[in-house]
Structure 1
Amino acid sequence: MTPEQNISKVNSPIASLPPELFAKFCAYLPPADLFTLSQVCRKFHGYLCAPNSFSTQQIWKESRLKFMPKEEMPPPKGMSEKNYVELLMMDRGCQTCKQIKICKIYWEFEVRICEECFLVKTVNEYKLLWSNYPQEFLNTMPHTYYFYGKYYWIEQIHIAYSQYYSLSKEDLKNWLDSKKLIFDSTMEYATKRGMKHDTKRPSRLSRHN
């Protein structure tokens, strides 16, 4: 029997809670339970998955701070609290292949991924330069390092380059300046996350996670 069937069968009072009381109830739930609750019915999904709702953001933020006390850093700019918490849940495995295996969060790309999928989803800088991608374009794209090589997220490259290629010379500078601001913010956050992780791990461990 699914959780939704359970609630329907017993006509649980929680199903009729107003939003403010529902939020108080959620204050006692860890993130994993919030995800389960969001799948129970459309009403709960609306309460817990509204990206522009302040109360929704607070529910996930409070759960993160209470049940993930080491994750006190706020999410990256533009990322919802729900997506942030989901990204932090390492026990859910790889977001690409869905397998429960050792993963790393690449904050540059905002993804939790295993090594095998990382090598499929990214491309080395040398290959991009060999394919005549302009250096001024690559300088605006988030990247990470893997065995001393610089790697980019393929999908991001394709989307951004289609925009870059279509711009007139007059519009290109503004586009590059805008992308550079986003790049700086993304890489700064990734660096802070890396520094935070470095303070928590034994020095002999690899850079993963």
Structure 2
Amino acid sequence: MYSKISSLIPGFSLLPPQPLRPTLQKIVLPPLLQKSHTTTPCKITLLPSELLIQIFSHLSPYELFLLRETCVRFNKFLDAPKSSTTKEIWRNARKEFLKDKSNPPKEMSEREYTKLLYYRGFCQFCGHNNIFRVEIYWQFKARCCHECLMKNTISLNELIKNCGDTIPEGLIVTIPYIYYNDSYYFWKNTLNYIYIQYLIYLKTNSILSPQFYSFLYSLKLNFKSIMVYVKGKMRKEDYEPLHEIRIRDEIRRLKIKNLFYIIN
């Protein structure tokens, strides 16, 4: 069943990806550097956490990003998504220097949200720098240029053409999408993940079972929360094509169109 979508989305697999095992090489310093080399930490890293919090609370996002790269302690301190102190530091920097007082999307940390806003002119995939060509796509929580958007998404037309007989309409409308150049686009990684979950449920439940209905309902609630957030970030005229009725009509139109081509 998943042969079509696996050929459509590179890297698609029912098995979890295997982590790469890096090969570590021992670094040997030259004799002169061995004598001068010291492991004595910088004095600022020895300050108590209370003082560090006071210092970090006055820094800009750019300075916080630089501090994350200086030492292990600062990295752990500024990269703890479950820490209320860390959240407050990034939130203050964002509100003070970026003048953004809104909340981050669901399941996105304050640091990730601040990074998304601060580097809004840079594509997070290829590094392309052009504030007029790089956009934030809130449905996907991604910031990218047109070329990377096309690489990481699949159009509704292509999805229906290649996988219309294996992915039901009710599942498609629960996946976050954007309306771009008069067409709907889905993020490939999200489509990949949800389709795998769909296949797992099919193995143990029928499409008409209450469990399967609960699965689709939970996806729909998640989709609704994402799109409500998106609505707050977009202009009304840009948000209009994102209604469920619009995309359902488009799915049926494309299915009829593809069926017509097959018959003829």
TM-score by length of 2: 0.67
Q: Indicate whether 1:84 and 2:113 are aligned.
A: yes
Partner of residue 53 from structure 2, selected from 20, 23, 45: 23
Give 2:234's aligned amino acid: G
In angstroms, what is the RMSD of aligned CA positions? Answer: 2.0
Separation in structure 2 between the aligned mates of residue 195 and residue 42 of structure 1, nearest angstrom: 42
Asked whether the 8 Å contact 2:121–2:134 carries over to 1, the reply is: no
1:58-83 deviation per Cα after TM superposition (whole angstroms, max 9, x unaligned): 010000011011x1111012211000
SS at match of 1:162: helix
Q: Indicate whether 1:96 and 2:125 are aligned.
A: yes
Separation in structure 1 between the aligned mates of residue 92 and residue 43 of structure 2, nearest angstrom: 23
Q: Indicate whether 1:62 and 2:92 are aligned.
A: yes
The residue that corresponds to 1:50 in the other structure is: 80
TM-score by length of 1: 0.84
SS at match of 1:145: strand
Q: Indicate whether 1:188 and 2:228 are aligned.
A: yes
Give runs of aligned pairs for residues 158-173 of structure 1, distance below 5 A: 158-167=192-201, 168-169=205-206, 170=209, 171-173=211-213
Separation in structure 1 between the aligned mates of residue 198 and residue 52 of structure 2, nearest angstrom: 46
Separation in structure 1 between the aligned mates of residue 68 and residue 59 of structure 2, nearest angstrom: 12
Separation in structure 1 between the aligned mates of residue 125 and residue 213 of structure 2, nearest angstrom: 34
Change (3 A) 1:195 1:16: farther
Asked whether the 8 Å contact 2:98–2:118 carries over to 1, the reply is: no
Q: Indicate whether 1:174 and 2:214 are aligned.
A: yes
Change (3 A) 1:50 1:191: same
Instruction: Note the residue ranges of structure 2 that are not aligned, 5 or more in a row.
Output: 1-37, 239-264
Separation in structure 1 between the aligned mates of residue 120 and residue 138 of structure 2, nearest angstrom: 17
Change (3 A) 1:103 1:124: same
The structure number with the bigger radius of gyration is 2
Q: Indicate whether 1:73 and 2:72 are aligned.
A: no
Once superposed, which parts of structure 1, at least 4 consecutive aligned residues long, lie more than 3 Å away?
Answer: 8-13
Instruction: Note the residue ranges of structure 1 that are not aligned, 5 or more in a row.
Output: 1-7, 199-209
Change (3 A) 1:183 1:91: closer
Deviates more, 1:22-31 or 1:93-102: 93-102
SS at match of 2:234: helix
1:89-139 deviation per Cα after TM superposition (whole angstroms, max 9, x unaligned): 235611111232331000000000001100111111121122222111111
Separation in structure 2 between the aligned mates of residue 47 and residue 95 of structure 1, nearest angstrom: 23
Give 2:54's aligned amino acid: K
Once the 2 structures are TM-superposed, how far is the Cα of residue 195 of structure 1 from its aligned partner? 3.6
Give 1:145's aligned amino acid: Y
The residue that corresponds to 1:137 in the other structure is: 171
1:19-41 deviation per Cα after TM superposition (whole angstroms, max 9, x unaligned): 22111101121101101101100
Asked whether the 8 Å contact 2:120–2:143 carries over to 1, the reply is: no
Identity %: 33
Change (3 A) 1:182 1:127: same
The residue that corresponds to 2:154 in the other structure is: 123
SS at match of 2:52: helix
1:8-54 deviation per Cα after TM superposition (whole angstroms, max 9, x unaligned): 89964321122221111011211011011011000000110011111
Separation in structure 1 between the aligned mates of residue 43 and residue 121 of structure 2, nearest angstrom: 30
Figure out how many residues of one structure are paired with residues of the other and give that number: 189
